[in-house]
C-alpha cells in the first residue's frame, strides 16, 4: 500500500499517470514529461512534494544539537534563512542531504528526502539522547508541500508576498487566503518557491496556482530538471556508501571549528584523498545511459552510471556516474555499455544547464 499525499485526489482528477516513489503514490506525468519540463524552463510549473519529510526541531538546545548532527553549522544561520547541508554517518557516509530552516528562536525545520525517513528520524532521536531541551516532531503527515518553479513564478499575482525573499529566505505568508510557509528554494535549477500548507489548504492552493497558468508537473519532469541542473538525487546518486568528497558535495561540509558526527572520518578521508568521484557526462555516440549501466575506459569497467537521460534543454543525452578520480577531468573520453553496445561519452561539467545560459 502506497502512502498518499493530500493532493492525491487532485492528481487522479487530473488523470495523472501515477507511480511509486519511495513508498508514495505520486504523479509521474500529467500530460507529457517534455511539456512539463518546458513549462518549468520557460514559465512556471508546480510539483507535489508532500512526500518529502518535514521535521521540526525545537527547544533550548536545538541549535546546539543540530550543530552536532549536521555538516554545516546553524550557528550563523539567521532567522528567516535556510541552508543545504548533509547528515553523515560516523564513518563519513552520507545519510541524506537536507535543507534546514531557521524559523524562530530555538526553532528549526528540516526538510529531507522521502526515502528511509524512519532511519533518519531514529538517527536524530539517538543523538538527541532524550534531552528534555530538544523536541523532534515529524510534521510530514500533517502538512502538504508544493514546489512552484520557473522564471515567471515571481510575476504571478499569488507570489506577491514572497517575491522579495532572497534565495534561501523563508517566511509565513498568505497566498490567496491560504496560509503558507514559503521558501525561495527548489530542485530544478530555476527560480521558485516551496510552499508548505495545511492538508485542507493543499487542494485550494493547487487550484489557485493552476488558474494562474502554473502547469502541474510530475516526477518525470522533476528528475530531468534536476539532472540538467547537476543536482544529486539522494539514494540514487549517493547513499551511505559514498562520502561527500566522492559525491561532489564537499561544499556542504564545514570542517572548520566545531565537531559534528562524522567529522573525524571526513578529516581522515580528506587527508588520504578519494579514489572515485561523481562526474557528469554527455553521450557523444547514440544512446541513452540509464542508472546502473557500466562505465568503461579502454575496455575495463571503471564505474557505474547513477542517473541518465535525455536533456531537452540541451538536446543531448547526459548522465552522472562514479569514475576513478584520474578519469574525472572534463574532456576525458569514456564508454558506456548500453544494453550490449559500447557507446562513447565524454566527461563534462556536471552543471549541464545553467539558468539563462
Partner 1 sequence: MNPKEYKYTREHEWFCPESENTGKTGLTKYAESQLGDIVFLDLPAPGTQVQQFEKMGEVESVKAVTDLFSPASGKVVEINTKAVDKPELVNEDPYGEGWLVRLELTKPSELDALMGSDAYGKYVESLSQEGSE
**Centroid of chain to Cα 346:** 25
Binding status of residue 34 toward partner 1 by CB under 8 A: yes
Buried-exposed string 36-63: b where 16+ CB fall within 10 A, e elsewhere: bbbbbbebbbbbbbbbbbbbbbbbebbb
Q: Is the dihedral of CA 33, 36, 41, 42 positive or negative?
A: positive
Binding status of residue 321 toward partner 1 by CB under 8 A: no
Beta bridge mates, 216 = 46
Q: How far is the CB of 283 from partner 1 (least distance, A)?
A: 10
Query: Would you say 215 and 46 are in contact if contact means Cβ atoms under 8 Å apart?
Result: yes
Residue 38: C-alpha distances to residues 33, 206, 232, 249, 356 (Å): 8, 19, 21, 28, 14
List 163, 310, 325, 346, residue binding partner 1 (CB under 8 A): 310
Q: Which is closer to partner 1, CB of 290 or CB of 351?
A: 290
Binding status of residue 308 toward partner 1 by CB under 8 A: no
C-alpha cell recorded at residue 319: 548522465
List 92, 150, 220, 262, residue binding partner 1 (CB under 8 A): 220
Q: 310 by DSSP, 3-state: which?
A: strand
Binding status of residue 155 toward partner 1 by CB under 8 A: no
Buried-exposed string 80-93: b where 16+ CB fall within 10 A, e elsewhere: bbbbbbbbbeeebb
Q: Which is closer to partner 1, CB of 89 or CB of 288?
A: 288
List 63, 287, 319, 321, residue binding partner 1 (CB under 8 A): 287
Query: Would you say 287 and 336 are in contact if contact means Cβ atoms under 8 Å apart?
Result: yes
List 9, 12, 15, 32, residue binding partner 1 (CB under 8 A): 32
Binding status of residue 17 toward partner 1 by CB under 8 A: yes
Binding status of residue 199 toward partner 1 by CB under 8 A: no
Size of the site for partner 1 (CB under 8 A): 16
Q: Do β-strands 294-297 and 3-4 pair in parallel, antiparallel, or remain unpaired?
A: unpaired
Q: Which is closer to partner 1, CB of 221 or CB of 279?
A: 221
Q: Which is closer to partner 1, CB of 214 or CB of 227?
A: 227
Binding status of residue 240 toward partner 1 by CB under 8 A: no
Q: Which stretch binds partner 1 (CB under 8 A): 28-36, 104-112, 160-168, 297-305?
A: 28-36
Binding status of residue 14 toward partner 1 by CB under 8 A: no
- Residue owning grid cell 520557460: 42
Query: Would you say 293 and 337 are in contact if contact means Cβ atoms under 8 Å apart?
Result: yes
Q: Which is closer to partner 1, CB of 289 or CB of 323?
A: 289
Beta strands in 89-127 (DSSP E): 94-104, 107-112
Q: How far is the CB of 225 from partner 1 (least distance, A)?
A: 11
Binding status of residue 210 toward partner 1 by CB under 8 A: no
Q: Which stretch binds partner 1 (CB under 8 A): 52-60, 163-171, 178-186, 287-295?
A: 287-295
Radius of gyration of the chain (CA): 20
List 300, 339, 356, 357, residue binding partner 1 (CB under 8 A): 339
In 3D space, the residue among 23, 63, 55, 58 whose CA is nearest the CA of residue 120 turns out to be 55
Binding status of residue 189 toward partner 1 by CB under 8 A: no
List 21, 24, 29, 281, residue binding partner 1 (CB under 8 A): 29
Binding status of residue 290 toward partner 1 by CB under 8 A: yes
Q: Which is closer to partner 1, CB of 33 or CB of 302?
A: 33
Local structure of residue 205 (DSSP, 8 states): H
Q: How far is the CB of 215 from partner 1 (least distance, A)?
A: 15
Interacting residues toward partner 1 by CB under 8 A:
17, 28-29, 32-34, 220, 224, 286-288, 290, 309-310, 317, 339
Amino acid at each position: 500500500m502506497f502512502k498518499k499525499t493530500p493532493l492525491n485526489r487532485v492528481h487522479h482528477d487530473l488523470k495523472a499517470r501515477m507511480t511509486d516513489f519511495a513508498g508514495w503514490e505520486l504523479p509521474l506525468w500529467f500530460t507529457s514529461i517534455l511539456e512539463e519540463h518546458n513549462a518549468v524552463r520557460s514559465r512556471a510549473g508546480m510539483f507535489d512534494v508532500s512526500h518529502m519529510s518535514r521535521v521540526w526541531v525545537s527547544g533550548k538546545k536545538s541549535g546546539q544539537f543540530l550543530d552536532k548532527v549536521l555538516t554545516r553549522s546553524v550557528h550563523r544561520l539567521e532567522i528567516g534563512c535556510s541552508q543545504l547541508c548533509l547528515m553523515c554517518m560516523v564513518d563519513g557516509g552520507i545519510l541524506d542531504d537536507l535543507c534546514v530552516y531557521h524559523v524562530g528562536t530555538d526553532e528549526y525545520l528540516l526538510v529531507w528526502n522521502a526515502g528511509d525517513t524512519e532511519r533518519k528520524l531514529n538517527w536524530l532521536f539517538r543523538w538527541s539522547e532524550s534531552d528534555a531541551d530538544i523536541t523532534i516532531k515529524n510534521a510530514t503527515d500533517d502538512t502538504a508541500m508544493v514546489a512552484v518553479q520557473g522564471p515567471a513564478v515571481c510575476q504571478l499575482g499569488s507570489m506577491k508576498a514572497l517575491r522579495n525573499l532572497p534565495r534561501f529566505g523563508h517566511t509565513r505568508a498568505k497566498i490567496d487566503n491560504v496560509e503558507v510557509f514559503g521558501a525561495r528554494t527548489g530542485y530544478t535549477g530555476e527560480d521558485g518557491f516551496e510552499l508548505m500548507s495545511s492538508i485542507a489548504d493543499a487542494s485550494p492552493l493547487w487550484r489557485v496556482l493552476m488558474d494562474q497558468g502554473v502547469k502541474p508537473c510530475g516526477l518525470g519532469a522533476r528528475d530531468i530538471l534536476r539532472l540538467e541542473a547537476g543536482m544529486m538525487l539522494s539514494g540514487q546518486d549517493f547513499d551511505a556508501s559514498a562520502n561527500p568528497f566522492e559525491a561532489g558535495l564537499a561544499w556542504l561540509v564545514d570542517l572548520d571549528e566545531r565537531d559534528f558526527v562524522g567529522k573525524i572520518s571526513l578529516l581522515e578521508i580528506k587527508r588520504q584523498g578519494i579514489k572515485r568521484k561523481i562526474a557528469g557526462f554527455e553521450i557523444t555516440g547514440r544512446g541513452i545511459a540509464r542508472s546502473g549501466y557500466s562505465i568503461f575506459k579502454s575496455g575495463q569497467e571503471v564505474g557505474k552510471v547513477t542517473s541518465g537521460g535525455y536533456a531537452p534543454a540541451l538536446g543531448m543525452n547526459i548522465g552522472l556516474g562514479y569514475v576513478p578520480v584520474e578519469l574525472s577531468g572534463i574532456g576525458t573520453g569514456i564508454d558506456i555499455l548500453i544494453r550490449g553496445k559500447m557507446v562513447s561519452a565524454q566527461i563534462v561539467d556536471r552543471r549541464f544547464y545553467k539558468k539563462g545560459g
